[in-house]
Amino acid sequence: MSDRLATSIGDMRLRNPVICASGEPVMTEAGIRAALHAGAAGVIAKSVNERAEAAAQLDRADYVELDAAGVPAAHGVSLFNRSGLAQRDAAEWFTALAAIDREAADDGRFVAASIVLAGVDGAEMLGRIARRAGLRVFELNVGAPHASEATPGAIVQETDPARLAELVARVRATTEGMQLWVKLTGLSSNLPALAVAARQGGADAACMMGRFMAMVPDLDTFGPVLGTSAAYGGGWALPIVCRFLALSRRAVGAGFPLLGTNGVRSGGDVARMALAGASATELCSVVMHEGFGGLTRVIAELDALLTARGVRFTELVGRAADALHGYGEQAVVPGRWRDFVPPETIA
């Protein structure tokens, strides 16, 4: 693979823009090594936090793939699941991650610690532990979709920009010298304001956006699939994420790095996220659906796409976002709607 795939998040150079996102596939050292071996530029390890209830929730996790019509299927295109956090002591987990990160650094890759917010004090403590372990990247997820269903306080979603800026500033102080990436929720429409808050708090990048919460009625049992609401993601989410990336790029400015997550299934999807403003992407479902080889496939597809178009990855970043116009700037075309209704409407 060539240099055309290279990108960077601030002063951190990445070999390519495909990062294995936090999730069950990277809840073990073996999984993390497999993701790196598959070619990922880095891995965001499965999250932990300071609350035992959040880890205990993993024992009630369940997962189902849904087809394009939203029906459970053996090989679906969407993932619907409830999850919990890694059942590892944070200090021990971060020490293990740091050891793999040191090896990965020799190869120009990284392994990041990730936490799902429960409280400010806990986030500060975990930031300190990550720094002491020698990790280079800390991802703070303030928008895990399961917050509303988990034991109260075990997972907290932060959607208030002022509180987020304060939280990030406090975590920033404990992670000095590290890359601090803030992962934002998909369940709020104020993503641009939250990205600005993350930047104000001192984050190096904002990642968007978390998956959505859904309830899937089952046409055979007439009950809810999996018995609960759960997080829902699929390739269909990508255009929604792209809009928020573009709006956030406008709000934070092109100099502040954004990462895209939620809906990337192909090399073309990585390019779309880039055109919307993402300097890199985080992928999880691809690995759940097809194994770590999915990462290799996506990177190869992206490389082929860039080669065919004669561009470097970084030349894509923000191109579509910067060409995004408002409704009021569009040409006036009276009667255009007539082309999109049944003939009876205008008979």
What is the contact surface with ligand FMN in residues (CB under 6 A)?
Answer: 21-24, 46-47, 79, 81, 83, 85, 114, 116, 141, 183, 211, 233, 261-264, 282-286, 288
What 3-state class would DSSP assign to 68? Answer: coil
Smallest distance from the beta carbon of 112 to ligand FMN, in angstroms? 10
**Nearest residue (CB) to ligand FMN, 93 versus 313:** 93
What 3-state class would DSSP assign to 5? Answer: helix
Number of neighbours of residue 186 by Cβ within 10 angstroms? 22
Place of tokens 């740091």: 98
**Nearest residue (CB) to ligand FMN, 12 versus 19:** 19
- In angstroms, rounded to a whole number, what is the distance separating the alpha carbons of residues 277 and 192? 12
Supply the DSSP symbol for 72. Answer: B
Smallest distance from the beta carbon of 233 to ligand FMN, in angstroms? 4
* Contact status, residue 212 vs residue 186, Cβ threshold 8 Å: yes
* Helix or strand run (H / E) with residue 43: strand 42-44
**Nearest residue (CB) to ligand FMN, 104 versus 259:** 259
**Nearest residue (CB) to ligand FMN, 157 versus 190:** 157
What 3-state class would DSSP assign to 233? Answer: strand
**Nearest residue (CB) to ligand FMN, 291 versus 311:** 291
Smallest distance from the beta carbon of 196 to ligand FMN, in angstroms? 21
**Nearest residue (CB) to ligand FMN, 88 versus 312:** 88
* Contact status, residue 202 vs residue 168, Cβ threshold 8 Å: yes
- In angstroms, rounded to a whole number, what is the distance separating the alpha carbons of residues 236 and 233? 8
Place of tokens 């959505």: 212
Smallest distance from the beta carbon of 276 to ligand FMN, in angstroms? 15
Supply the DSSP symbol for 23. Answer: S
